[in-house]
Structure 1
Amino acid sequence: MAIATEPHPCFFYGSLMEPKVLNSVTRPGPEADLFTVRASIQGYIRYPYHNEPYPGMVASQDDHEAVEGLLVFGHTMMDRFRLDQFEGSEYTRRLLPVKVLDPVPGKYNVQGQYQRLSAGDLVQAYVYVFTGPREHLDTSRPWDFEAFQREHLAIWMQTSPDFTQRMLDCTQQA
């Protein structure tokens, strides 16, 4: 039996770029057929959330500014529901154009043409844009993914059983 997947990939620019975090949130099963590729989004900038290890991405005043991240193809509707719960009320899921930076096999092309996507092609993707109060972000410095992995990942993964329980509760309610 085929699993229904979302018609659009998701673009991740923060903690969800780390496979351990993404897999703990979506818990893809052995039947999952996910494909991940480097990507970027133009006209945005990401900043650290005050006193937290994750960022928020907001529109930039400079249209040439870009945020690099990962584009993930193949999530199910339940995965997206879990992602919505994880992101919370200060992040809004929007469908935005994202540029793929590496080729994508045709079977993942959401355009319905089943032609591969080439580096530089644009694809509509779900993006969780920060829409909370701007003062919640530390706009004095950019967010650093490598620092997140080095300094916060291990502790964050160990101290989030409450999140895991919330995800299980949401899944049972759905």
Structure 2
Amino acid sequence: MSAFFYGTLQSPTVLLRVVCGPEAKPEVTRAKLKSLKLQPATLKGHRRYALKNLDYPGVVKSELSECSVSGILCEGLSRQDILRLDAFEGDEYDRVTVSVSTIATKDHPEIENEVPTQLYLWTAGHHHLEERDWDFEQFIKDKQAAWMADRCEFNDVDKVELELELQV
């Protein structure tokens, strides 16, 4: 399975915390990262917004066709990964299918193409949107370290792990 990440999940630190859990050993997170294919991509016909008083963004469909969102296409996700990502995103987002355009890079020189994937679309209302784009570099520089230490979203993700273990 695959997903397009345009916010905090572009950070390998955040992504691995979500899909591997809090107690994952370094060799587990390294193996997980190696199993994923991360590639720059663009989502057309949508716009990313900073959210009022929040450290993460929301993406909504745009009426302007020239709008686009840059992010990361993450391929190789398991069903369990998607369940953990669903819990992380919570009820403010709906997981929907979209197509993204991949961007050729030195590490991934494949020809650019359209790829169907999953997107977490902001659904908690336009009144939360600021009239500016969210800044990933600023998040990494100023907020990621503190953010990783104290996020209630991780509690929801970790509950999924416990539920999955109980089902086995």
TM bracket, shorter-chain basis = 0.7 to 0.9
Residue deviations 1:13-63 (CA, integer Å, cap 9, x gap): 001001111111111846531110000000011001110110000111210
CA distance in 2, matches of 1:119, 1:66: 20
What letter matches 1:165 in structure 2?
Answer: N
**CA RMSD between the two structures:** 2.1
Q: Which residue of 2 aligns with 1:18?
A: 11
Matches within 5 A, 1:111-150: 118-138=110-130, 140-150=131-141
Q: Which residue of 1 aligns with 2:68?
A: 66
Between 32-41 and 163-172, the greater mean CA deviation after superposition? 163-172
Structure number with higher helix proportion? 2
Unpaired segments of 5 or more residues in structure 1?
A: 1-5, 106-115
The structural deviation recorded for 1:104 is 10
Q: Which residue of 2 aligns with 1:3?
A: none
CA distance in 1, matches of 2:94, 2:31: 28
Unpaired segments of 5 or more residues in structure 2?
A: 22-27
Residue deviations 1:96-129 (CA, integer Å, cap 9, x gap): 1110002699xxxxxxxxxx98342001000111
Whether the aligned pair in 1 keeps the contact of 2:98 and 2:117 (CA below 8 Å) is yes
1:164 lines up with 2:154 in the alignment:
yes
CA 163–130 in structure 1, closer or farther in 2 if over 3 Å, else same? closer
Q: Which residue of 1 aligns with 2:101?
A: 99
Q: Which residue of 1 aligns with 2:145?
A: 154
Could you state the TM-score of these two structures normalised by the residue count of structure 1? 0.81
CA 163–39 in structure 1, closer or farther in 2 if over 3 Å, else same? same
CA 163–92 in structure 1, closer or farther in 2 if over 3 Å, else same? closer
The structural deviation recorded for 1:90 is 1.3
CA distance in 2, matches of 1:104, 1:121: 16
SS of equivalent to 1:79: helix
CA distance in 2, matches of 1:146, 1:103: 19
Between 11-20 and 149-158, the greater mean CA deviation after superposition? 149-158
What letter matches 2:67 in structure 1?
Answer: E
Identity of aligned residues (%): 32
CA 70–43 in structure 1, closer or farther in 2 if over 3 Å, else same? same
Whether the aligned pair in 2 keeps the contact of 1:91 and 1:130 (CA below 8 Å) is yes
